[in-house]
Amino acid sequence: PGGSSMAVPAARDGPPAPERVLFPPTFSVSEIKNKQRRHFMFLRWKQQQRKEKLASKRKRRKEREALGDKAPPKPIPKTIENQRVYDETTVDPNDEEVAFDEATDEFAPYFNRQTVPKILITTSDRPRGRTVRFCEQLSTVIPNSHVYYRRGLALKRIIPQCIARDFTDLIVINEDRKIPNGLVLSHLPDGPTAHFRMSSVRLRKEIKRKGKEPTEHVPEVILNNFTTRLGHSVGRMLACLFPHDPQFIGRQVATFHNQRDYIFFRFHRYIFKSEKKVGIQELGPRFTLKLRSLQKGTFDSKFGEYEWIHKRREMDTSRRKFHL
């Protein structure tokens, strides 16, 4: 009526086609005020970035396949590790000075097979359940280790008792707010003593797809990337915790992997799937260590002489500078 008419949009068959998002070159998600809209646009931007990266990767692969043997070598990706600042104390295996130091240091009796590792694992005073379980599981990883729970006994009194009972190393697990957060490793009887900050502790029940309980076989030990003089000393110190001759029939391996001065510990078992395929099965526990100090002699918090102390403001001036 009245001669007026309204335009009715034509009905479409099926759902509307998805709109392609093209972000301008100067687009910044942080300029969006609405929080939900900003999060939504950020996810779409990340999705677009992934698609472009995948398309570029496919394109490069097709070009290499088309060139065949004439294809240029793949460029080595830049990482913090391969751009590491050169350290003057990097160990050369053929250096006579390094060989002499190894033959005369505190760990020489172990590497000369004059001593058999015997480890005492203890805790801070009155440990909680998680720390207790971690010590028990650690004792199943390190052969010939014994767990002792302190009840107000000072470490200066424990160390002479350990030496009298022929213990070669002392491990102290510290905790904060019921969580293990520190490890003190003292080599007996003459030291040195290393203080580590511990993080990312996972017990066996917290590891996904874990294997069966470890056996009593002596595991194989792998030490990776301990390249400097300090890292060499720490690696030899960790090696002294395990007996010399691993029992390969147990197919168990303990790994200390140093990456960016973080020491990652993993405990695995080999699984032989066929003559050519080998898998690994994590047994646990797992944890990460960060060296805080290396002290001469056994534990002495008051009068101890330190070989090395990590001072963040003075030492961590570059992301590509590592000490181990």
Q: Indicate the number of domains in the chain.
A: 2
48 and 118 in a common domain: no
Q: Is residue 198's pLDDT more than 90?
A: yes
Tokens of 297: 């002699």
Q: What is the 3-state secondary structure (H, E, C) of 75-141?
A: CCCCCCCCCCCCCCCECCCCCHHHHHHHHHCCCHHHHCCCCCCCEEEEECCCCCHHHHHHHHHHHHH
Q: Is residue 2's pLDDT more than 50?
A: no
159 and 59 in a common domain: no
164 and 215 in a common domain: yes
219 and 126 in a common domain: yes
Q: Is residue 76 part of a domain?
A: no
Cis before 285? omega within 30? yes
Instruction: Count CA within 13 A, CB hemisphere, residue 35.
Output: 0
Please state, in angstroms and as integers, the Cα–Cα distance from residue 59 to each residue in 54, 65, 67, 73, 284, following that order.
9, 10, 13, 16, 42
pLDDT at position 7, please? 45
202 and 135 in a common domain: yes
pLDDT digits (tens, 9 = 90+) for 98-125: 888 888 888 999 999 999 999 999 998 8
263 and 148 in a common domain: yes
Tokens of 7: 């335009």
pLDDT digits (tens, 9 = 90+) for 249-291: 999 999 999 999 999 999 999 988 888 888 889 998 999 999 9
Which of the listed residues 47, 64, 81 is the one where a domain comes to its end? Answer: 64
207 and 302 in a common domain: yes
The angle formed by the CA atoms of residues 155, 161 and 162, to the nearest 5 degrees, is: 85
Question: Which letter does DSSP use for residue 248 in this model?
Answer: G
- Show the domain range for 164: 92-316
Please state, in angstroms and as integers, the Cα–Cα distance from residue 42 to each residue in 31, 38, 275, 292, following that order.
11, 6, 48, 39
User: Does this model's pTM top 0.85?
Assistant: no
106 and 52 in a common domain: no
Q: Is residue 21 part of a domain?
A: no
What CATH number is associated with residue 181?
3.40.50.10480
